[in-house]
Structure 1
Amino acid sequence: MKVIFMGTPDFAVATLDALVKAGYEIPLVITQPDRPKGRHGEAQKSDVRIAAEGYGIRVATPERIRKDEALKAEMRALAPDVIVVTAFGQILPKDILEIPKYGCVNVHASLLPKYRGAAPVQWAVLNGDAESGVTTMQMDEGLDTGDILMMKRIPLEAKETGGTLFDKLAKLGGELIVETLEGLEAGSITPVPQDASQATKVGLFTKTSGRIDWTEDAVVIERKIRGLNPWPSAYSFLGGKQLKLWDADVLTDAECKQYPLPEVAVMMPEQDRTMPEGTKAGHVYADQKMLVVRCGRGALLIRELQLEGKKRMKAEDFLRGHRF
């Protein structure tokens, strides 16, 4: 079975690795162009490009694939049996979707039709889902709207983060694409249309997406801390400096009363102290061992944090070295 692979970030590398290990012929990999990254803004290759070049596979990097007629002609000449797409980052036009014998198959990190679009992994954690998974889908001209081919589910752990779930689903996607291609070749898969009435769409996160609103429930904020770990990370401000929060436990209002800690600070910039009158949301309570922040409902017992310019550390270590 001849496969053209399309993908860009590290999540897609697991799919490419699985295809190579399964022995599929991959004459071409298509990924996004090199983009500026890092402090100095130097152009860097995508994770998929690095992996593909390591395997000795030819790589194409179209700026806009729908307008790249030369690349389309090359793809037709290769006559692939299937095109596998994982987090490529561009919508494929009809004339590309129609090239392969088995069409274009997408590996999507959610249980479709839930979480169509970008960043589905983080949203599963943010919304407190009990399970997540990977779907292989027969691509059409819409955004994650094609028929479902296969699906695998996994439960979310109590302390699941966006990073840990990302790794699990990347591995699962590699396993599922091999099973899907085997099923397509054997004719044993019956595509199932998605229930559009159950569809949800999610978008990309930015560096400011992790800013904490302390008037929200502690449960919601704790999920944000886990869901946006490692990027873009949940953060607030303490003493005019950004403070990233990496781990926390939820305390109910009743549990808060068990800890008669002194109030030591407010976790937000001076100009943002626009809380409703009488609220204690964002107020920090601490002694030498415990750091608690009140929320709109309940509170968070902070376990791990990182003050701007400092390394990531346990809350107890932070409290030993910080003066409020």
Structure 2
Amino acid sequence: MMNIVFMGTPEFSVPSLKALIKEFDVKAVLTQPDKPKGRGKKLSISAVKEVAVEHNIDVYQPVRLRKDPEVIQKLKDINPDFIIVVAFGQILPKEVLEIPKYACINLHASLLPKYRGAAPINAAIMNGEEKSGNTAMLMDVGLDTGDMLLKDEVSIRKNMTAGELHDILMEEGAQLLIKAIKEFKNITPQKQDDSLSCYAPMLDKKMAKIDWNKSSKEINNFIRGLNPWPIAYTQYNDKNMKVYETEIIDKTTDYKPGYIINVSNEGVDVSCGEGILRIKKIQFPGKKVLEVKEFLKGNSLEKDIYLK
């Protein structure tokens, strides 16, 4: 049976690890170190580590793999047929890339060479793409630059959020990986066209503020692309208002961008640089996420307020 070493960390990696355990002999799992979480700063283990522990698979958690000769030696001792990487969170050094008998294969959640980098799912939605997918690729020392083995495409529905696309791609990706391993000897790797590449940088909360000078379509894509994290926000009377769901209203207005032009049970209509956007689901600090209709039962939102 094929020997596999798996490297991954978040929930996205879990279906791939489970599928590999079912099909092959997973000898070891590498994942990021446990991290303090929540108010008590209690150490929390990665989603991948949970699965590995359940299946009694050896787990290694190097802070930086390239500077951990003991773990690298362990990998050499295992002598795997493949090293499989799904959102591990570290770039592998050349020494590790050369360990497996056949290859290091990475699953990347975009149709490469588009959206290399840390947040390809979010970037695809924020940029209004109509399709995304996974790429199984050979790893090299660059960031998502290796030769491609297999791809699968997924249509992005009109109001799909990054979270919804994430959940589809993580399941589909597991099957793509299994196919790539089983058919490896018959696949001809394809070089990426670097001229078509673009980069999807890591997300942070600082980038989540809505710019109402943009068009309603751009802002709608921005909000979908930041759901479920870090969630787009704007300021209503100097309070941060997180915006979870919106829809484009096919009308024009004379209001300047950022002004509330109507409030109803249907939502809060806001003028944009071009067009109107209806806010349908919101959250104020310390409060629950609510549909506007529910929020208005005990609170008010006023017309003509400027959202900063």
- Whether 1:14 and 2:12 are equivalent positions in the alignment is no
CA contact (8 A) 2:86 2:106 kept: yes
**Shift in Å, 1:320:** 3.1
State the aligned residue count: 299
CA contact (8 A) 2:6 2:28 kept: yes
Which residue of the other structure, out of 279, 294, 304, is the alignment partner of 2:281?
304
* Aligned counterparts, 1:68-87, within 5 A: 68-87=68-87
- Whether 1:156 and 2:156 are equivalent positions in the alignment is yes
Which residue type is aligned with residue 70 of structure 1?
E
Seen in structure 2, the aligned counterparts of structure 1 residues 232 and 287 have a Cα distance that, compared at 3 Å, is closer
Which residue type is aligned with residue 127 of structure 1?
N
Once residues 27 and 317 of structure 1 are traced to their aligned partners in structure 2, the CA distance between those partners, rounded to angstroms, is 51
Which residue of the other structure, out of 172, 194, 203, is the alignment partner of 1:205?
203
- Whether 1:282 and 2:282 are equivalent positions in the alignment is no
Seen in structure 2, the aligned counterparts of structure 1 residues 192 and 288 have a Cα distance that, compared at 3 Å, is closer
Render the CA deviation track for 1:18-69: whole Å, top value 9, x for unaligned.
11122x1011000111122223333211111111111111100001101111
Once residues 103 and 16 of structure 1 are traced to their aligned partners in structure 2, the CA distance between those partners, rounded to angstroms, is 17
Once residues 233 and 310 of structure 1 are traced to their aligned partners in structure 2, the CA distance between those partners, rounded to angstroms, is 15
Which residue type is aligned with residue 4 of structure 1?
V
**Shift in Å, 1:253:** 4.0
Report the equivalent of 1:319: 296
Seen in structure 2, the aligned counterparts of structure 1 residues 303 and 193 have a Cα distance that, compared at 3 Å, is same
Report the equivalent of 1:267: none
Render the CA deviation track for 1:136-173: whole Å, top value 9, x for unaligned.
00001111110000000011111110000000000011
**Shift in Å, 1:192:** 0.5
Bigger shift: residues 33-42 or 83-92: 33-42
Render the CA deviation track for 1:197-225: whole Å, top value 9, x for unaligned.
11111110112221111111111111111
**Shift in Å, 1:226:** 0.8
Once residues 124 and 288 of structure 1 are traced to their aligned partners in structure 2, the CA distance between those partners, rounded to angstroms, is 32
Report the equivalent of 1:189: 187
TM-score, normalised on structure 2?
A: 0.94
Report the equivalent of 2:305: none
CA contact (8 A) 1:225 1:247 kept: yes
* Aligned counterparts, 1:251-266, within 5 A: 251-254=249-252, 256=253
Aligned residue for 1:11, secondary structure, equals helix
Once residues 123 and 235 of structure 2 are traced to their aligned partners in structure 1, the CA distance between those partners, rounded to angstroms, is 24
Flag structure 2 segments of 5+ consecutive residues without an equivalent.
Answer: 303-308
CA contact (8 A) 2:5 2:83 kept: yes
* Aligned counterparts, 1:120-269, within 5 A: 120-184=120-184, 187-254=185-252, 256=253
Aligned residue for 2:282, secondary structure, equals strand
Once residues 222 and 38 of structure 2 are traced to their aligned partners in structure 1, the CA distance between those partners, rounded to angstroms, is 25
Which residue type is aligned with residue 286 of structure 1?
N
**Shift in Å, 1:71:** 1.0
CA contact (8 A) 1:253 1:297 kept: no
**Shift in Å, 1:233:** 0.5
**Shift in Å, 1:285:** 2.5
Seen in structure 2, the aligned counterparts of structure 1 residues 189 and 287 have a Cα distance that, compared at 3 Å, is closer
CA contact (8 A) 1:5 1:84 kept: yes
Render the CA deviation track for 1:169-206: whole Å, top value 9, x for unaligned.
0001101000000011xx21100011111111111011
Once residues 207 and 56 of structure 1 are traced to their aligned partners in structure 2, the CA distance between those partners, rounded to angstroms, is 37
Which structure 1 residue ranges, 4+ long, deviate > 6 Å from structure 2? none
Bigger shift: residues 146-155 or 42-51: 42-51
**Shift in Å, 1:321:** 2.3
CA contact (8 A) 2:148 2:190 kept: yes
Which residue type is aligned with residue 297 of structure 1?
E
Flag structure 1 segments of 5+ consecutive residues without an equivalent.
Answer: 258-278
Aligned residue for 2:207, secondary structure, equals coil
CA contact (8 A) 2:263 2:269 kept: no
Once residues 205 and 37 of structure 2 are traced to their aligned partners in structure 1, the CA distance between those partners, rounded to angstroms, is 14
**Shift in Å, 1:288:** 4.1
CA contact (8 A) 1:148 1:194 kept: yes
Which residue type is aligned with residue 228 of structure 1?
L
